[in-house]
Structure 1
Amino acid sequence: MDVQPPKRLRVAEEQRTCSDGVKEEAVRDAVDVSIVMPVYNASCWLDECLQAIVHQDFTGSMELSVFDDASNDDSRNVVESWREKLEARGITLLISGHSSAQPKGVGFAKNKAITQSHGEYLCFQDADDIMMPQRVRLQYDASLLHRNSVYTSHGPTVVMPTWFCSRKWFQEVGPFDEGGKGVPEDLLFFYQSLRRGGGLTRVDECLLVYRYHEKAATLSVTEETIWRLRVDFLQERLLGRWENVTIWNAGKQGRKLYRSLSPANQKKVKAFCDVDENKIHKGFYTYEESKERPKPKIPILHYTDATAPFIICVKLDMTGGVLEENLNSLQLKEGIDYYHFN
């Protein structure tokens, strides 16, 4: 990419003390990137996380904005111990928090960290993950081309720990939901971004090592919560404007999607389609839980006999390319003829 980020030097005007006694620098000039990091009982991960931030090869101005969400370990002390190294690298450290009996949740902590920060762009970082050295540089370069987007890494399409967006766009979309434990604040924010006309842009390189462990905040969100939010968004954005639809997958996931739809949208499902001859041979799916009489029976067709639009309920990269070949054989256009729900 030819765009080179301008380097802007920050000049500290004074040292001031926040209401909770935490010192921070009053920054006269705008900061290019604020690394936003909520922290809760992350002391065992923080050294690796902070070392990776120090090793960023971005040449613009950066700050690290940390909000401690009532940790009962020494997380805040660990972060504070890195102040000298961070500032030697030119990264200002802003750290605050609260000491309530219970944490207030990731959404609350992110919002607080953003409020105290100054950056034109926001780079979201979890305290237990590790940035690659090029992360901030590559996402900043990309962000100069499309300002109303959320930027992420390669791999799964949307992974919150690699989000990067402009402060202006965050203020247009946000703040994060502060419902606390069990609330997928990142997914809710992402859907709101799409409602506002925002895009999703991917930097096709590895930008971060994601640490998966039993204490990860993401595990507090149930699979059923995520499913319900996804179905609701699908109905809001697509099915509300379609007269009929075919669900691509007559198996477990396709049938679950059908059962999760509102009665009005269930009536729009004109067929399931599949490649499995056993499912196709059955001829139809009977919705046994329905209170209607007679119970709805939805035809099961071979995909070549079905018609668009389709909702694809098959996981990508799980069929050895067969799904993609089948879609291409029908000359379908994603976003018009079909959408993925997988």
Structure 2
Amino acid sequence: MLPDRILHQYETAKKNTNAIVGCGFHRLPADSTVRFTRWANSLDDQQLYHQQYTSYGPTVVMPTWFCERGVFDRVGGFSEEGKGTPEDLIFFYSHLDKGGELCKVPECLLIYRYHQNATTFSIHETTIWSVRLVRLQEHVLSTWPKFSIWNAGKQGRRLYRSLHPKFQDRVMAFCDVDVNKVGKTYSPPHQSQRAIPILHFRQVTPPLVICVKLDLTGGSFEENLKSLKLQEGIDYIHFS
């Protein structure tokens, strides 16, 4: 912890008694998890809620958490299921389900060390995927009568196949920028009678579940998304 961490987060927590309070952080070594660090440190107040479905996990990174004891007690503590359990993500979602709030002190108050033996590497990606998927379906897709999936490739199709059948039926289209995909259709396994159109991203009608990784295309994806003038949390959700 940097010297002023407790002071700054305590002052913020006093004003936000129902919140998990995070803060900015630096990585050690400095060149580790660069994209993750940039993402977590750049989220604004609304994105702390909107981007809770990405593969990065909690939008308030667990080592930065600071809260009143009552926040912890209301959730009931962490899962004790043991190794391989994404206990921080489960706690984070439970906190939100119980009306908990999120906020962050933007200043860097913590040095977050990266090492290859970290517990996070014991958690299988499919476990985290399943936890995120359940929440996406319960809290987002259940409110959307129809939607499309941005990414007609591997990740978009994986999402489609993972959805409950009732949500598969709500998928109107895929969209993409790949000229080799646009204009074609996708026939899901065991649904050969169904042909889901693959559109150019400028032709698609929101809402959208976006399965494109952030900060990985030199800014081109982000510029494409920005050009549509959509509202995050209403017109689209990231599930990358």
Structure-1-length-normalised TM-score: 0.57
Deviates more, 1:224-233 or 1:152-161: 152-161
The one of 170, 180, 185 equivalent to 2:82 is: 180
- Indicate yes or no: 2:205 matched with 1:303: no
Measure the CA separation in 1 of the matches of 2:167 and 2:117: 38
- 1:325 is matched with which residue? 223
Distance (whole Å) between structure 2 residues aligned to residue 323 and residue 196 of structure 1:
34
13, 20, 44: which one pairs with 1:143?
Answer: 13
1:213 deviation in Å?
2.5
Matched-pair identity in %: 54
TM value normalised by structure 2: 0.80
Matched, 1:160 2:62: yes
> Shift in Å at residue 219 of structure 1?
1.6
Amino acid paired to 1:224: T
Contact 2:147 2:172 in 1 (8 A): yes
CA distance in 2, matches of 1:207, 1:251: 39
Equivalent of 1:266, from 168, 179, 183? 168
Structure 1 letter corresponding to 2:164? S
Counterpart of 1:312 in structure 2 is 210
Tell me the SS of whatever aligns to 2:89.
helix
RMSD (CA atoms): 1.7
Who is 2:93 aligned against? 191
Task: State whether structure 2 residue 143 is matched by structure 1 residue 241.
Answer: yes
- Residue 212 of structure 1 deviates from its aligned partner by 2.7
2:204 and 2:229 mapped to 1: Cα distance? 13
In our comparison, the structure showing a higher alpha carbon Rg is 1
1:60-90 deviation line (CA, Å, top 9, x unaligned): xxxxxxxxxxxxxxxxxxxxxxxxxxxxxxx
Rounded Cα–Cα distance in structure 1 between residues aligned with 2:154 and 2:23: 30
Q: Residues 135 and 326 from structure 1, CA distance in 2 versus in 1: closer, same or farther, beyond 3 angstroms?
A: same
Structure 2: give runs of 5+ residues left out of the alignment.
25-36, 41-58
Unaligned runs of 5+ in 1: 1-130
Distance in 2, Cα, partners of 1:145 & 1:184? 29
Any idea what the Cα deviations from partners look like across 1:140-195, whole Å, max 9, x if unmatched? 22223322221223432332111111112222223211111111111101111111
What count of residue pairs does the alignment treat as equivalent?
208
Give 2:22's aligned amino acid: T
One-letter code of the match for 2:211? C
Greater relative contact order, per chain length (Cα 8 Å cut-off, separation 6+): 2
Q: Counterparts of 2:138 and 2:95 in 1: how far apart (Å)? A: 14
What is residue 285 of structure 1 aligned with on the other side?
186
Cα distance in 2 for partners of 1:336, 1:297 equals 27
Counterparts of 1:208-227 in structure 2, within 5 Å, are: 208-227=110-129
Residue of structure 2 equivalent to 1:96: none
Q: CA deviation at 1:336?
A: 0.9
